[in-house]
Structure 1
Amino acid sequence: MTTSEAVRQGPGDDQLIAEAFLRGDEDGFRLLYERWAALVHTVARRALGDSGEAEDVTQQVFIAAWRNRRGFCPERGTAASWLVGIARHKIADALAARARRARLAAALRSAPDAEPGPSEGRQAQQAVDRVVVQYELSRLPRAQQQVLRLAFYADLPQSQIAAYTGLPLGTVKSHARRGLHALRRRLEQGSR
């Protein structure tokens, strides 16, 4: 009998879903999502004020829940409260990323042009710089590339990178630090 069939047979649905989820049963995970995704989305939408961001947070919550399902302890609380707890952390990350983007946008609006002259020259130099950085980034070990791309192109904090990649947070931090040092060294050598 599948988890879906067992759940449809009577009371104790939440307990059966939680047990199946903890076993790594994909059907149990699907049922957990069907049961609690609307709650998580509502909490995220109310906190963020944006349905699109709430959808992203909801997805992140369930990815984190699946990857960290061994951290769920039914004796300490319900699946709903555990998921809302994860959602609070993901909402905080989303708000921090939003604040970083706002600060960057404000700084860009208020910054004077760094170089006088035609904007085409600056745009051409920026394009060359992007190509050089991309090339040097592609020469790094794959794990360092992935961490740096997620940090700088996807604007993810290291905790989300760890959740997304499945790497321990300390490893993510090490990859970021080593990758940035290697990039700096290579870019400085190229400018000489």
Structure 2
Amino acid sequence: MPSDSALPQEDLAVRLRDGDADALAAVYERHSRLVHTLALRALGNHHDAEDVTQQVFVAAWRGRHNLDPGQGPLAAWLVGITRHAVADLLAQRARTVRNLHAVAAQPAEPATASLDGAVTDRVVVAHALASLGEPRATILKLAFAEEQTHEEIARRLDLPLGTVKSHIRRGLLQLRENIRGVRADAS
């Protein structure tokens, strides 16, 4: 029997569809550069392209039951998955930018705000951060209090970059809801 890397594309696709993990490894070996190159060209960021490449092959494994080897080349199927993953990441970037603009457009606290109000705000934020749990609270503290980049946090905590980004995004959303809840209770 030929090695996985020497198998014809259609045979490899059938084995992948049937749940052969060695076939997934061979598909990755053959097509990861293509997927990474497409993601890098679309996103312009090496780390994001690596994350998308990983997501594509995870999605290919999870969605292997939808693979029809007779429909076309395996590479074309992977390119379709890559396009969806890139579109999802670009949409996420657009949401983040939109949210940042919305926050920036919020009116600033009046200059006459009392010192007591600032102290109260710090206590509320500290309590809301503590309620996030770990590692999310630590990741947000490193990102905002220590102004570390996503990559620095990932290295420091030995976490995948995508996990750090997800914790930051979800943590900010949760933090916002926690603070809204405290303000609503105070009204």
TM-score by length of 1: 0.61
Matched, 1:125 2:157: no
Identify the residue that residue 52 of structure 2 maps to in structure 1: 57
Whether contact under 8 Å (1:7, 1:16) holds in the other structure is: no
Identify the residue that residue 6 of structure 1 maps to in structure 2: 3
Identify the residue that residue 42 of structure 1 maps to in structure 2: 37
Identify the residue that residue 141 of structure 2 maps to in structure 1: none
Name the CA shift for 1:123/1:66 in 2 (closer, same or farther; >3 Å).
farther
Whether contact under 8 Å (2:40, 2:48) holds in the other structure is: yes
Name the CA shift for 1:34/1:109 in 2 (closer, same or farther; >3 Å).
same
Displacement, 1:96? 1.0
Percent identity among equivalent residues? 36
Name the CA shift for 1:43/1:151 in 2 (closer, same or farther; >3 Å).
closer
Q: Supply the AA of the counterpart residue of 1:65.
A: A
Identify the residue that residue 146 of structure 2 maps to in structure 1: none
Q: Relative contact order (C-alpha < 8 Å, sep 6+): which is higher?
A: 2
Whether contact under 8 Å (1:44, 1:87) holds in the other structure is: yes
Aligned-residue RMSD, C-alpha: 3.9
Whether contact under 8 Å (1:115, 1:122) holds in the other structure is: no
- Show structure 2 runs of 5+ residues with no match: 134-162
Displacement, 1:112? 3.5
Whether contact under 8 Å (2:4, 2:23) holds in the other structure is: no
| Count of residue correspondences | 152
Residues 83-124 of structure 1: per-residue CA shift (max 9 Å, x gap): 110111111111111112222333444444235447996486
Displacement, 1:188? 8.1
Residues 142-174 of structure 1: per-residue CA shift (max 9 Å, x gap): xxxxxxx99974548xxxxxxxxxxxxxxxxxx
Residues 58-106 of structure 1: per-residue CA shift (max 9 Å, x gap): 1111111111110111111121111110111111111111112222333
Whether contact under 8 Å (1:22, 1:69) holds in the other structure is: yes
TM-score by length of 2: 0.62
